[in-house]
């Protein structure tokens, strides 16, 4: 089978996020399929963007043919990002002759975060007789409206809404990463039988391979806490508003003399403010450590007794959440403290830890104390349940097979 995967922000191990298109495509290549990914050369998500001397460049990465499309740089979510989007869409249309003549796909996947790529994807699928798949990451334009505060009457939002509805009507299959979005999608034109949930996942082989050692600073900090017989709660990831770490700080103020230490590893726009606030509050039980390489994350998680992930209380989460960080936590076999209000709760479903309300510092503090009071065997059972759940439901080898079934 020939699979054309259109994803504006697709990444790879060489370039950085986002990884889902790479992991799925790699599994399809292993199964004998031909896969071509079309992506923009500039994405705000990647650590390293490809450098192009012309409008297009092809690159082979682990048997996947990437076609990079030259687009202008941008910062933030203003006009320059919109220009970047439309330039990419134009480049995809410019490639359509290749797919109509020399490499005719059997499946075309429209997978950019925004829904406008459904239009060139539908054009290529219609001309080649390929099946059209609309893969939905976030609900656009609902996310820019509810989270970003944009007006539903804004011309760009109206255009996005038209494109989303077009995708639901036109696609043969709608693959949703959000497990609770079926009714919303049906209200916007999707037939019920089109709906498939294929969540995010984890590369199990990557986890089972040799991990990178922790930097000396991190090893020494964790060893010192161990020597003091502290219960270590870890956090690995971005230090941004969406991660609700300010409520974790508030929770720490309520721990009293409980022998619990929280170690936060990562970087982000709010890290300096969080550090300043922790110092102001006198939170000696919190430590902020620098970001580490992706391959060193398993080594950090292994040194923790439990792990924390938190969410803002946002209405958009009613359609479900799909956090890659959580799958890493569960693969580490560690119990999870989950502060959440959403349409689904993977931690509760798997029996992998303690779930409490979002934006509730008292509840988070209570969960920290309860987790520390459990026996190592009880925490071990939670961690084992989480890992088993990920292996059964979120291994990319499993997800890739499920994606193609019935297409």
Where does residue 132 rank: exposed (0-12), middle (13-18), buried (19+ CB within 10 A)?
buried
pLDDT tens per residue across span 345-383: 999 999 999 999 999 999 999 999 999 999 999 999 999
17 or 341, which is more confident:
341
- Residue 241 confidence class, pLDDT cut points 50, 70, 90: confident
**pLDDT class for 150, splitting at 50, 70, 90?**
very high
Asked whether residue 293 carries a pLDDT value surpassing 80, the answer given is: yes
State the maximum Cα–Cα separation within the chain, in Å, rounded to a whole number: 70
pLDDT digits (tens, 9 = 90+) for 72-117: 999 888 899 999 999 999 999 999 999 999 999 999 999 999 999 9
Helix 361-373 with 245-252: angle, nearest 10 deg? 70
Q: Residue 334 above 80 pLDDT?
A: yes
Res 253: pLDDT: 96
Q: Where does the pLDDT of residue 207 fall: very low under 50, low under 70, confident under 90, or very high at 90 and above? A: confident
Are residues 5 and 117 in contact, defined by beta-carbon separation less than 8 angstroms?
no
**Domains located in the chain, CATH noted:** 2-198 (3.40.50.2000), 206-393 (3.40.50.2000)
The bridge status of strand 260-265 relative to strand 231-236 is parallel
Structure-token match 């320059």, residue found: 80
Helix 155-170 to helix 118-128 angle (10° resolution) is: 30
Residues 131-150, mean pLDDT to the nearest whole number: 95
- Looking at the predicted structure, is the pLDDT value of residue 406 above 80? no
Q: What is the DSSP string of 94-145?
A: HHHHHHHHTS--SEEEE-SSSGGGHHHHHHHHHHHTPEEEEEESS-TTHHHH
pLDDT for residue 57 is more than 80: yes
Three-state DSSP class for 184?
A: helix
Say whether pLDDT at 209 is over 80. no
Position 45 scores a pLDDT of: 87
| Digit-coded pLDDT (tens) for 261-275 | 999 999 988 999 999
Evaluate if residue 200 carries a pLDDT over 90. Answer: yes
Q: What confidence tier does 133 reach under pLDDT thresholds 50, 70, 90?
A: very high
Which range has the worst mean pLDDT, 7-11, 255-259, 344-348?
255-259
pLDDT band at 181 (very low <50, low <70, confident <90, very high): very high
pLDDT of residue 308: 98
Confidence of residue 295 (pLDDT cuts 50, 70, 90): confident
Show the tokens assigned to 25.
């495509």
List % helix, strand, coil for the chain (3-state, nearest 5).
Answer: 45, 20, 35
Rounded to the nearest integer, the mean pLDDT of the chain is 95
């Amino acid at each position: 089978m020939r699979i054309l995967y259109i994803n504006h922000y697709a990444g790879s191990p060489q370039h950085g996020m986002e990884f889902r298109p790479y992991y799925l495509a790699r599994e399809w290549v292993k199964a004998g399929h031909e896969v071509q990914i079309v992506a923009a050369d500039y994405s705000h998500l990647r650590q390293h963007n490809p450098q192009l001397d012309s409008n297009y460049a092809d690159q082979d990465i682990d048997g996947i043919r990437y076609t990079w499309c030259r687009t202008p740089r941008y910062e933030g979510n203003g006009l320059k990002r919109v220009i970047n989007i439309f330039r990419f869409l134009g480049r995809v249309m410019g490639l359509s002759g290749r797919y109509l003549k020399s490499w005719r796909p059997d499946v075309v996947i429209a997978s950019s975060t925004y829904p406008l790529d459904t239009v060139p994807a539908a054009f290529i699928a219609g001309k080649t007789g390929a099946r059209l798949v609309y893969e939905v990451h976030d609900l656009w334009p609902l996310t820019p409206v509810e989270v970003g505060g944009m007006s539903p009457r804004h011309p760009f939002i109206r255009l996005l809404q038209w494109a989303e509805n077009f995708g639901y009507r036109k696609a043969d299959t709608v693959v949703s990463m959000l497990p609770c979005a079926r009714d919303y999608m049906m209200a916007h034109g999707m037939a019920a039988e089109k709906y498939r949930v294929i969540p995010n996942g984890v590369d199990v082989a990557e986890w089972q391979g040799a991990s990178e050692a922790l930097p000396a600073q991190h090893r020494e900090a964790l060893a010192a806490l161990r020597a003091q017989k502290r219960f270590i709660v870890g956090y690995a990831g971005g230090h941004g508003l969406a991660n609700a770490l300010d409520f974790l700080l508030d929770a720490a103020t309520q721990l009293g003399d409980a022998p619990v230490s929280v170690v936060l590893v990562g970087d982000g726009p709010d890290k300096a403010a969080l550090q300043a606030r922790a110092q102001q509050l006198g939170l000696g039980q919190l430590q902020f450590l620098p970001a580490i390489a992706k391959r060193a994350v398993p080594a950090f998680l292994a040194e923790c007794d439990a792990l924390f992930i938190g969410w803002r209380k946002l209405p958009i989460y009613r359609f479900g959440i799909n956090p890659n960080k959580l799958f890493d936590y569960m693969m580490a076999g560690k119990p999870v403290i989950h502060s959440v209000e959403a349409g689904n709760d993977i931690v509760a479903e798997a029996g992998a830890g303690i779930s409490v309300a979002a934006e509730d510092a008292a509840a988070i503090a209570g969960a920290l104390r309860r987790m520390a009071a459990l026996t190592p065997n009880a925490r071990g059972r939670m961690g084992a349940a989480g890992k088993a759940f990920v292996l059964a439901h979120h291994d990319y080898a499993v997800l890739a097979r499920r994606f193609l079934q019935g297409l």
